[in-house]
Chains A and B, each alone.
Chain A
Amino acid sequence: MEVLAETLNIRKSYEKQNLFSKKKEKVPAVNGVSLKIQKGCSVGLVGESGSGKSTLGRMMAGLETPTEGQVLFRGQSISNISLRKMRPLRRNIQMIFQNSSSVFDPSYTIGESIAEVIKNSEKVSKKECLGKIETILEQVGLDTSYAQRYPKELSGGQRQRANIARALVLHPEFVVCDEPVSSLDYSLRKQVLTLLNDLRNKFGITYLFITHDLNCVPYVCDIMAIMYAGKIVEQIDLKNNSMQNTLHPYTSLLFSCIPAKVPAERKKCTIESIIDTTVIPDSNHCCRFFLRCPHYTERCINEEPLLKEVANGHFVACHIV
């Protein structure tokens, strides 16, 4: 299979002002990730807030440069290339952001915003441009009259559809979706996921789908990757493995936190291991989950676990697996 996008041990640190001294500290948001995304094989990236999902997504979309390592798109590095070289790639790599209201310029109509994207990457007549806008709006389930509306005149769900239309109008090959449904209520959430799925089948798009909602993953993804403290700790191919077969203690914690589907499945609120999420040791020579892990051993404190394949297409970074 063809590798579409790939990261080679990438890292990204941000400088953060220490609040109690004048010093600036380097905080690693992404701490050594090697991820291969094959064409037609969408990846769901799951993890808690602050784990580095968006940072990884922005680097894979070419919107941010890694501090270390490379991002490849079709084998070509996009991490240090000029804007001119990036331009032809740009139309093939798009990003859908969580907050659709900040994506649209409030003084442009939806149609004008989408036209902007088209004109940036191809020379088209006004009529062709209009045709493309109307087609994509219909494909995301919006009436073509929405092209004349301003962003604030749309409900949250409609605006998220317009947002998707804007990202997909050029039929990109690779789309990074950063929490595309988190701000939507449940009936809209299902609509938008179904839409992303349809468009994937229609245009052959491959997604990097970022979410903290595990339930969404099997809907649109073929592979699930779990991220914790800047690293991928588990990766599982959902075609060959069941989602229930995950093995990393952090993944188990995530699953145990999903609310019940019906009252009979209620948990009895046993959440000892959900101690505070801010305690992450800043050493690279231990398992960064050990302070929260119910199974940690001596080894976990002294040695970092690396990703290893435990079954076909199933990788786990944990000493006890």
Chain B
Amino acid sequence: MQYKIDKGVRSENVILDIRNLSLDYVMPDQNIHAVIDLKLVARMGKITALVGESGSGKSTVALAVMGIQDKNAIISNGEIYLAGTDVLSLPKKDKRSYISNRVGIIFQDPIDSLNPLLTIGEQLVETVLIHEKITKNQARTIALNQLLAVSLPQPEELMKKYPFMLSGGMCQRVMIAIASVFRPLLLIADEPTTALDVTIQAQILHHLDSMRKRDGTAILLITHDLGVVAEIADDVCIMKDGHIVESGTVDDIFYNPQHVHTRQLLAATL
């Protein structure tokens, strides 16, 4: 076994530790440096917000952690420690299952990320069966409980529905139900509420908050909305042009911003 392991981080409840990550997109005429020497830590039971303007590289970081970056992406440097093991050092055959057993992800557009041809129930049961060797009936029970846990009413009925029959907010809660069905150590939420209106946003934030409190999930919350950050984040990393320009506790960032870009972002809130 030559995996790179760092046991030291466990004592500090560090679930995700990205060290000096650099990632380039290789294009015919040039290389785009989308992530440059990035350092980021997400802790158990805490919400770490990754904040930046569009195009700053936030989603690229999320995809790299999941190991599902685009084909033309090259990781030129760095380590991504997930629960103490550098996933970049894992052989390809182990990598996929190592990551998917520990990390769940939800995307900005919930309707696009559900399979339109399968009912909500089929998708949930399938996800449960991938992760655990149990019978279909047992999986169904887990799935039902999961829907109740995200406060979706009438879960029995809901299981029979197709994604297009749900509102955006319900879809996003189903996504959270699916992403958290196997109690991931880490949940990556990439702009989970950008497409939703304020009342539904409040519901989703409430669920993220209870996930970290109840299950101790570490949450990496990607957003450009500083209101959301002020509302629920513990730690904040400000990203610009592939770099983390400032990171700190939520209070540091709001009450004592150091970097000029952080101040600009704060000034741009309405």
> A residues within 8 Å of B by Cβ?
19, 48-50, 155-156, 185-190, 193, 212-216, 219, 253-254, 256-263, 265-267, 269, 271, 274-278
Beta-carbon contact of B227 and A50 below 8 Å: no
- Given A156-B54, A215-B270, the answer on whether A274 and B202 have CB atoms closer than 8 Å is yes
B227 — nearest CB in chain A belongs to which residue? A259
Q: Which of B47-103 contact A (CB under 8 A)?
A: 53-55
Beta-carbon contact of A266 and B231 below 8 Å: yes
Beta-carbon contact of A258 and B203 below 8 Å: no
Interface: B136 (CB within 8 A): no
- 9 residue pairs of the A-B complex, CB under 8 angstroms, read A49-B169, A186-B268, A190-B270, A213-B198, A215-B270, A259-B228, A260-B231, A263-B251, A271-B206
Beta-carbon contact of B270 and A219 below 8 Å: yes
Interface: B119 (CB within 8 A): no
Residues of B within 8 A of A265 (CB): 230
Candidates A155, A216, A267; contact of B55 at CB < 8 Å: A155
Residues of A within 8 A of B167 (CB): 49-50, 277-278
Q: Which of B114-132 contact A (CB under 8 A)?
A: none
- Given A257-B198, A274-B203, A277-B169, the answer on whether A263 and B230 have CB atoms closer than 8 Å is yes
Nearest-neighbour CB distance to chain A for B178, whole angstroms, equals 19
Interface: B137 (CB within 8 A): no
Residues of B within 8 A of A274 (CB): 199, 202-203
Beta-carbon contact of B197 and A263 below 8 Å: no
Beta-carbon contact of A261 and B54 below 8 Å: no
Nearest-neighbour CB distance to chain A for B51, whole angstroms, equals 10
Interface: B183 (CB within 8 A): no
| Interface residue tally on B, bucketed by range | 35 or more
Residues of B within 8 A of A50 (CB): 167
Residues of B within 8 A of A219 (CB): 270
Which A-B residue pairs are the 5 nearest by beta carbons? A259-B227, A212-B197, A259-B231, A185-B224, A257-B202
- Given A186-B224, A260-B230, the answer on whether A212 and B198 have CB atoms closer than 8 Å is yes
**When chains A and B are docked, how far (Å) is the Cα of A271 from the Cα of B268?**
28
Beta-carbon contact of B54 and A216 below 8 Å: no
Nearest-neighbour CB distance to chain A for B232, whole angstroms, equals 8
- Given A49-B200, A257-B199, the answer on whether A267 and B231 have CB atoms closer than 8 Å is yes
**Prevailing SS type, chain A contact patch:** loop
Residues of B within 8 A of A260 (CB): 227, 230-231
Nearest-neighbour CB distance to chain B for A157, whole angstroms, equals 8
Nearest-neighbour CB distance to chain A for B180, whole angstroms, equals 18
Beta-carbon contact of B199 and A254 below 8 Å: yes
Nearest-neighbour CB distance to chain B for A233, whole angstroms, equals 14
Residues of B within 8 A of A193 (CB): 270
**When chains A and B are docked, how far (Å) is the Cα of A155 from the Cα of B270?**
22
**When chains A and B are docked, how far (Å) is the Cα of A262 from the Cα of B196?**
21
Beta-carbon contact of A49 and B265 below 8 Å: no
Candidates A48, A188, A189, A262; contact of B230 at CB < 8 Å: A262
**When chains A and B are docked, how far (Å) is the Cα of A138 from the Cα of B224?**
28
Chain B 233-270 interface 0/1 with A at a Cβ cutoff of 8 Å (1 = within): 00000000000000000110011000000001100111
- Given A49-B200, A257-B201, A271-B202, the answer on whether A278 and B269 have CB atoms closer than 8 Å is no
Nearest-neighbour CB distance to chain A for B234, whole angstroms, equals 10
Nearest-neighbour CB distance to chain A for B136, whole angstroms, equals 25
Residues of B within 8 A of A269 (CB): 205-206, 209
Interface: B226 (CB within 8 A): yes
A49 — nearest CB in chain B belongs to which residue? B197
Residues of B within 8 A of A262 (CB): 230, 254-255
**When chains A and B are docked, how far (Å) is the Cα of A261 from the Cα of B227?**
5
- Given A212-B198, A267-B231, the answer on whether A186 and B226 have CB atoms closer than 8 Å is yes
Nearest-neighbour CB distance to chain A for B165, whole angstroms, equals 7
Interface: B225 (CB within 8 A): yes
A267 — nearest CB in chain B belongs to which residue? B231
Residues of A within 8 A of B230 (CB): 259-263, 265-266
Beta-carbon contact of B270 and A48 below 8 Å: no
Candidates B209, B250, B251, B268; contact of A187 at CB < 8 Å: B268
Beta-carbon contact of B264 and A48 below 8 Å: no
Residues of B within 8 A of A155 (CB): 54-55
Nearest-neighbour CB distance to chain B for A205, whole angstroms, equals 21
A292 — nearest CB in chain B belongs to which residue? B199
**When chains A and B are docked, how far (Å) is the Cα of A186 from the Cα of B268?**
6
